A and B are shown apart, each in its own frame.
Chain A
């Protein structure tokens, strides 16, 4: 009796040890996977902080001569990325304006008709869309908007391309969120004689607001850093451009331009740092909303 108890004790200890080792291994690996992010941040801050001052936010990108002179005199490069910030705000804003209503309505349709044939087709297409390379969406924007509508590169074309890109995340998050909402909620409204469309818009949708908003913000953060589709659509612009039928700059486009100009390479770091922080903030906001605004049924 006694010995067998001891044996099983020893066995148990071995198992507990294994368990512990396993847990530590997982923690270590998880830590390892977050190392790149910190390295990137560290690198960007180290190389980019000098460039970030007030004029960074309100001055347009410097031309190569200004930059060359500054570099020669060992000064920081003058100018900022205001044309990129404004461009990104306009392009991403318009893309959201297109994609949010379409995506939410589409997601609502999928949640309501989860077994329908047409819904199956739509869901398949949305999944496919998720996998379309962004440069291809740029080509689409070029064919649909640049050539026939704005007769030249334009921020509108960039918005169209990016709106297609953010659509899947909105559609799927709306669908998943609405599917989780108990059907009794809808019944409660309908049993009060509330018409179907009002039930959906004023009862069901608000109950899923946190999940839907999370999807929207993740969609925005996904497109905010996109470069390839904008090269074929918004093209870039040295000045601040608010006309949506005209070419426009964007923060990621500026990073690419700085990379291509030997005199401006020092600007890469600050512009990248700003973009990265912007996207990190969006992600954190999404997380906070998912937590804070969660509706309890």
Chain B
């Protein structure tokens, strides 16, 4: 937790010290990640027709790091994130070019049920299952998929997951109450616990704090930094300081294109692309 605070200060100091200067324009603005856990390969996604909402995106996602996706509204952040666990296929007319590899496996050739077990997702608005207790919400992935667990295994998973999101002490006496009676921030942590309980390798989060107050937001940010020890995290955020505070790598997208991708510190101090610089200095977006 301390390290986040430090990092934040460091970044802010650096931002102040160096007014944005556009470094060597010849340098490739897309950094290559060594041995990525996930490899996005020339991915284009369309919701129907010839219009592609993201275009020819290639990027590797680093294992056990937080990768932030930034960009102005409508640039395709959510589309990219959803394409990683195939949630975009909910819309009937979607089609895509290129692919995404999880290790060696093409995710579009995988069984979506197995894929989503490996790549979990947390949404903008907390969405615990309203008919289920806190306890059942945590193990919902097992319950709804008909995976039988022993009572003891369930108890262990619930406690472990809730401890990981720092909710255990707050709810351990009301595990059998409905999850929807919690506060917004607690609900969101419950949703993260629900994703964790299913032991994914990667967790995708789409603006997980945009519906929360600053205190709840800070808690979730701390949590994400703690979680990267065991999980790989990809996070869409509108909040630049959030990206600067917690992410290791950042993507900047614009009009469906991946404009720049690299270490967060690097990007915030010396963006390589003019559009990134303009966005980060608030000239548009």
Contacts and interface: CB of A to CB of B under 8 A. Distances in A.
Nearest to A188: B127
A190 interface: yes
B165 interface: no
Contacts of B123: 184, 187-188, 191
Interface string A166-201: 000000000000000010111111111111001100
Given A187-B90, A296-B180, A192 B130 contact: no
B85 A295 contact: no
Interface string A186-229: 11111111110011001100110100000000000000000000
B121 interface: yes
A28 interface: no
Given A182-B127, A184-B127, A185-B129, A194 B144 contact: yes
B116 to A, nearest CB: 4
Nearest to B116: A193
Nearest to B128: A188
Contacts of A190: 87, 90, 116
Contacts of B114: 193
B131 A206 contact: yes
A192 B120 contact: yes
Interface residues of B, number: 31
A112 to B, nearest CB: 11
A200 to B, nearest CB: 11
Contact of A192 (B116, B124, B131, B180): B116
A193 B145 contact: yes
Contacts of A195: 113
Contacts of B113: 193-195
A297 interface: yes
Nearest to A113: B92
A192 B90 contact: no
Contacts of B87: 187, 190-191
Given A185-B130, A193-B115, A193-B116, A296 B178 contact: yes
B55 to A, nearest CB: 24
A3 to B, nearest CB: 52
Interface in B128-168: 128-131, 140-141, 144-146
Given A190-B90, A194-B145, A207 B116 contact: no
A188 B115 contact: no
B75 to A, nearest CB: 21
Nearest to B114: A193
Contacts of B198: 192-193
A192 B194 contact: yes
Contact of A191 (B120, B145, B146): B120
A211 to B, nearest CB: 13
Nearest to B146: A198
Interface string B185-200: 0000001001100100
Among B87, B90, B195, the most chain A Cβ lie within 10 Å of the Cβ of B90
Contacts, number: 81
A211 B88 CA distance: 29
Contacts of A209: 131
Contacts of B112: 193
A297 B180 contact: yes
B228 interface: no
B117 A193 contact: yes
Nearest to A181: B130
Contacts of A194: 113, 141, 144-145
B130 A296 contact: yes
A203 B144 CA distance: 9
Interface string B88-112: 0010000000000000000000001
Interface hub of A184, A191, A296 (most chain B Cβ within 10 A): A191
Nearest to B137: A188
A189 B121 CA distance: 10
B63 to A, nearest CB: 21
Task: Choose among A193, A195, A199, A203 the residue with the greatest number of B CB atoms under 10 Å from its CB.
Answer: A193
A37 B155 CA distance: 55
Given A192-B144, A193-B116, A195-B113, A203 B129 contact: yes
Contacts of B124: 184
Nearest to A198: B144
B125 interface: yes
B179 to A, nearest CB: 10
B266 to A, nearest CB: 32
B121 A191 contact: yes
B216 to A, nearest CB: 18
25 contacts: A184-B124, A185-B130, A188-B123, A188-B194, A190-B90, A191-B87, A191-B120, A191-B121, A191-B195, A192-B120, A192-B141, A192-B144, A192-B194, A192-B195, A192-B198, A194-B113, A194-B141, A194-B145, A195-B113, A198-B144, A198-B146, A295-B130, A296-B130, A297-B130, A297-B180
Given A182-B127, A191-B120, A207-B129, 8 more contacts: A184-B123, A185-B130, A191-B116, A193-B117, A194-B113, A198-B146, A203-B129, A295-B180
Interface of B: 85, 87, 90, 112-117, 120-121, 123-125, 127-131, 140-141, 144-146, 178, 180-181, 191, 194-195, 198
When A and B form their complex, which 10 residue pairs have the shortest distance between CB atoms, in order from nearest?
A193-B116, A191-B121, A193-B113, A192-B141, A184-B127, A194-B144, A188-B127, A206-B131, A295-B130, A296-B180
